[in-house]
Amino acid sequence: MSKEKEKEKEIEIEDGSVEEPILNEEENAEKSENSEYSENSDSSEEEKDPLEAAQEENAKLRDQLLRTIAEFENYKKRTLKEKTELILNGGEKTITAVLPVLDDFERAIADKNEDAAAIKEGMELIFHKFVKTLEGLGVKKIETDDADFDVDYHEAIAMVPGMGDDKKGKVIDCVQTGYMLNDKVIRHAKVAVGQ
């Protein structure tokens, strides 16, 4: 290359840096084609193949599914364990509440007092304490005095004829007391009903 052509291509700037060479039209067109090709190849590298993208998405979703299944299995095991513990130890509250009444019975039996009135009074006190304990646990007695016969609460074991029209369909006598636990009948009252 001659010195003149070199001067055309490179022009020195005063601070010492070199400016890009001046190209003729052919060289300019060739350079722009090369830059377009390099840009296209870069963009195609950045854009993934749809198959690869779908496979990556599939792997990601599969991983999420496996984790969710594992979490659910752990939840089922934990819930089953809690239910088992509740069944085995569910009566703990009831037994803890009844133990003081049991202690009172033990003290009453150990007492050597021969006075029948004192023994009866002690038994009544223990009975009332036991009833209060049961009420605290949600147990209620089903009332039968002057009540209409109701199959939801009563079980008729006898029909008493000739009691008059005012006693017809009413509870005459309670043979065995019925109880409810939190508004659910746990034992029906066995009663005699007027006919």
- Provide the 8-state DSSP code for 114: -
* Top-confidence residue, 26 or 151: 151
The whole-angstrom separation of Cα 108 and Cα 124 is 11
For the chain, which residues make up each domain, given as ranges?
140-195
pLDDT value at residue 188: 92
With H, G, I as helix, E, B as strand and everything else as coil, classify residue 150: coil
The whole-chain average pLDDT of the chain stands at 80
pTM of structure:
0.54
CB within 8 Å of 163: residues ≥ 6 apart? 172, 194, 195
Q: Which CATH superfamily is domain 140-195 in?
A: Head domain of nucleotide exchange factor GrpE (2.30.22.10)
When pLDDT is cut at 50, 70 and 90, the band that residue 3 belongs to is low
| Residue closest to 191 by CA, chosen among 183, 167, 182, 181 | 167
170 burial via Cβ count (<10 Å: 0-12, 13-18, 19+): middle
Q: What is the average per-residue pLDDT within 110-127?
A: 90
- 13 versus 26: which is more confidently predicted? 26
- pLDDT at 37 > cutoff 70: no
